[in-house]
Amino acid sequence: MPRKLILDVDTGTDDAVAIMLAALHPELELVGVTTVNGNVEVRYCTDNSLRTLDFIGRSDIPVFEGMARPLVRADFPIPRAVKKSTGVHGLSLDIPDPVSIVQSRSAVEFLIETYRSTTEEIALVPTGPLTNIAAAVALDPKFAERVPEVVIMGGAHHHGNVTPSAEFNIWADADAAASVLAAGFRKLVMVPLDATHEALVSKQACDAMEALGTPAGLAASRFIGRRIKAYDANQPMAEQNAAPVHDAVCVAYLVDPTVITTEHRHVAVETQGALTIGRTVVDINFRGEHPPNCHFAFHADRHKFVAMLLDTFARVAA
């Protein structure tokens, strides 16, 4: 039986790779995609999600548009202004315009109604700011207990990307992230920069994806190629000609949990600090008062991850 999931995305080049992995892997069933303001304005995230699914022949997967602004901080800088200059994403992904259209129900309604009515286990995988998930938690007091597992791309212990202290998804809506971390989800896994920066995809792997000749292989090589150029220029990793593809690591974990190595710790989000807003505070030495609430990934297995991308992108939709 394939494992069911919902992806909550701010598509985005790495979100698009996550969508393709979830939509094409034979052991996964992507039930729906919900979008949120993040890398780009939410309407572009929606358009990018639709065009990705169309391009790989999975237009049957519904897309629901979500929150257009952070939950509380209307004054907070719009995230895209910060991301724009690096060229990691662009506004519209470099594949044809979508033919499919977005669903009329909102993302938050879809999330609440799906988890309220299902008897099946559906993992929830947010790979953008946590605004939709926090809204669902606020609207439905039972939401957190209904979701069997949440796998978040976000946070960092040893790193920061948008500020010296913080990772983008958590920083972009720190209030939402704080409420999700404190919501009491049954199982919460966090895939932070500590792990994703170890799961680099090289230019060589990108070329191998292109050589597959499939829609997913071509799209992945284009999206990851763009990331490699941007990372080499603006945020060099431990090795040149390689870049992280953060969001897809969460999906890979659902297929093979050994793709990451986690520690069970308490994690909270700083929402006030002038220098540290959006920081994930991980109680690595059990110094705080709270019991662990999160399986926090400190490492990732690059070879397993890249092999899974290549195997999956060799496939075409049935």
Which residues contact ligand BDR by CB under 6 A? 10, 12, 14-15, 39, 127-128, 153, 161, 167-169, 246-247
* CB of 81 vs ligand BDR, minimal distance in Å: 13
Measured at CB, which residue is nearest to ligand BDR?
Answer: 168
Give the shortest CB-135-to-ligand BDR separation in angstroms. 18
Largest Cα separation within the chain, whole Å, is 53
Shortest spacing between CB 60 and ligand BDR, in angstroms = 24
Cα torsion at 35, 41, 43, 47 (round to 10°)? -80
Which of 246, 266, 290, 295 is catalytic? The answer is 246
Q: Measured from the CB atom, is 168 or 212 closer to Ca ion?
A: 168
Cβ neighbors of 53 (< 8 A, separation 6 or more) are 19, 23, 33, 59, 61, 63, 98, 100
173 near Ca ion, rule: CB under 5 A: no
Q: Determine how many CB atoms are found less than 10 A away from the CB of residue 245.
A: 27
Partner from ligand BDR, Ca ion, none contacting 55, C-beta within 5 to 8 A by type: none
d(CA 180, CA 161): 21
Give the nearer residue to ligand BDR in terms of CB position, either 65 or 167: 167
The residues with which 281 forms a beta bridge, in sequence order, are: 268
In angstroms, the CA 252 to CA 101 distance is 27
Q: Which of 32, 70, 98, 128 binds Ca ion (CB under 5 A)?
A: 128
Among Ca ion, ligand BDR, none, what binds residue 8 when CB lies within 5 to 8 Å by partner kind?
A: none
Of ligand BDR, Ca ion, none, which one sits near residue 175, judging by CB under 5 to 8 A according to partner kind?
none
The span of 5-13, 25-33, 216-224, 283-291 binding Ca ion (CB under 5 A) equals 5-13
Q: Is 220 helix (H, G, I), strand (E, B) or coil?
A: helix
Q: Using CB atoms within 10 A of its CB, is residue 24 exposed (0-12), middle (13-18) or buried (19+)? A: buried
By CB under 5 A, the count of residues binding Ca ion is 6
Helix (H, G, I), strand (E, B) or coil at 297: strand
Choosing from 4, 5, 15, 124, the residue that interacts with Ca ion (CB under 5 A) is 15
Q: Which residue, 110 or 223, has its beta carbon nearer to Ca ion? A: 223
- Strands 280-282, 267-269: pairing kind: antiparallel
- Please give the Cα distance from 83 to 25 (Å, whole number): 30
Spatial separation of the C-alpha atoms in residues 225 and 203, rounded to whole Å: 7
**Closest CB to ligand BDR among 26 and 164?**
164
The reply on whether position 10 binds Ca ion by CB under 5 A is: yes
- Number of residues written out for the chain: 318
Binding segment (CB under 5 A) for Ca ion, from list 80-88, 176-184, 247-255, 276-284: 247-255
Question: Exactly one of 12, 98, 154, 225 binds Ca ion (CB under 5 A); which one?
Answer: 12
With CB under 5 to 8 Å by kind, the binding choice for 270 among Ca ion, ligand BDR, none is none
Which of ligand BDR, Ca ion, none is residue 161 near (CB under 5 to 8 Å by kind)?
ligand BDR
Q: Are 36 and 66 in contact (CB under 8 A)?
A: yes
Q: Which two tokens stand for residue 185?
A: 């989800």
The answer to whether residue 246 is catalytic is yes
Q: Residue 115 in 3-state DSSP?
A: helix
* Binding region for Ca ion (CB under 5 A): 10, 12, 15, 127-128, 247
Catalytic residue IDs: 246
